[in-house]
Structure 1
Amino acid sequence: MAERAYRLAPPRSRSEWDAYHAIRRRVFSLPRPEEPTDPASHAMLLFLNEAPIGAIQIDDLHNCSAALRLVAIDPSRQGEGHGRVMLREAEAFARRIGCRQAVVYATPEAAGFYAGCGYDEEDWDEVCMGGIVQMLKHLD
């Protein structure tokens, strides 16, 4: 069986940005937004053997927390464990930028996935919309 070589990195080329947006569009039916310009917002692609298979946005909230947003694995690659790898890599990135916890807004359907990755239900945003499960993981 071939070794899986993962890499989480920001999109660098037009084709990588296109892959980032395509994955998000397939998972979330999102229109193509502009690339983030806020230096605290980090768009990232998960590569498997140099093929982009996942997308995530990591926002430094400037309170020792990183928000992991729009966590998406290409639908053709879901259920293979790539989401767990992407979370692990995103958490490592958050540590490198000085964050001590990661937070997510999860749908009720996705809350079990995050719980299995070490996240606990915890209200961290007092203005959160209803129907969303707020989850938090300490990275220390």
Structure 2
Amino acid sequence: MSNPFEHYRLEPARSPEDWAAYHAIRRDALFARLLPRHPYDKNDPDEFLPGHTSCVLRYRDAVIGVVRIDEIDAQRVGLRMIAVRDDVQRGGHGRAMLALAEEQARAEGRSEVIINAHLTAVGFYLKLGYAPGEWADPAPVPPGTIRVGKVL
């Protein structure tokens, strides 16, 4: 049986091209569409905190998605600002990105993944086994989101 994610890679943004794609996807897919009153700041200090890893999702070598993986503690990670390029949404890429992020969390010995889900995306996360609740995460729950989590 073939691996459904064999053409995908989730890896830290490294090159100038990775960073340009990372910021463009976040700006267009999240801020312009879902948070139009909030200006996008590519130099937001959260991006550079220890334990925060800005990642790109590659599909057949093209950057099509982004997520920041934040270490919360020894058992938990937070997936932040998850986005897929507008022109390839609804193609299973978000599902692939979550599967790879969860796999990485498991490999690092984590047992929970926590997401602040935008209200328009809650159904997507619920279908993938996430549940709303009081998940242990010190980060604030931004307006227009619901905290969801998953035990791995």
User: TM-score by structure 1 length?
Assistant: 0.88
Q: Which residue of 2 aligns with 1:79?
A: 90
Deviation at 1:15, TM superposition (A): 1.0
Aligned to 1:93: 104
Aligned to 2:10: 8
Residue 17 of structure 1 aligns to a residue whose secondary structure is helix
**Which residue number in structure 2 is paired with residue 32 of structure 1?**
42
Number of aligned pairs?
137
In structure 1, the gaps of 5 or more residues are: none
Alignment-derived partner of residue 119 in structure 1: 130
Query: As a proportion of its length, which structure holds more helix?
Result: 2
Q: CA deviation at 1:12?
A: 1.6
CA distance in 2, matches of 1:129, 1:46: 24
Q: Give the TM-score normalised by the residue count of structure 2.
A: 0.82
Q: Tell me the equivalent position of 2:56.
A: 45
AA partner of residue 31 (structure 1): D
Query: What's the offset of the Cα at 1:49?
Result: 0.4
**Mapped contact 1:121–1:135 kept (Cα < 8 A):** yes
Q: Which residue among 114, 117, 123 is the counterpart of 1:103? A: 114
Q: Which AA in structure 2 matches 1:134?
A: R
Cα 1:129–1:15 change in 2 (3 A) is closer
- Structural RMSD (CA): 2.0
Query: How big is each residue's C-alpha offset from its partner over 1:70-113, in whole Å with a ceiling of 9 and x where there is no partner?
Result: 00000011010100000000111112222110001112211100
Distance in 1, matches of 2:28 and 2:67, equals: 13
Runs of 4 or more above 4 Å deviation: none
Q: Tell me, in whole angstroms, the C-alpha distance in 2 between the residues paired with 1:34 and 1:111.
A: 25
Mapped contact 1:4–1:48 kept (Cα < 8 A):
no
Q: What one-letter code is carried by the residue in structure 1 that aligns with 2:41?
A: P
Unaligned runs of 5+ in 2: 32-39
Identical-pair percentage:
35
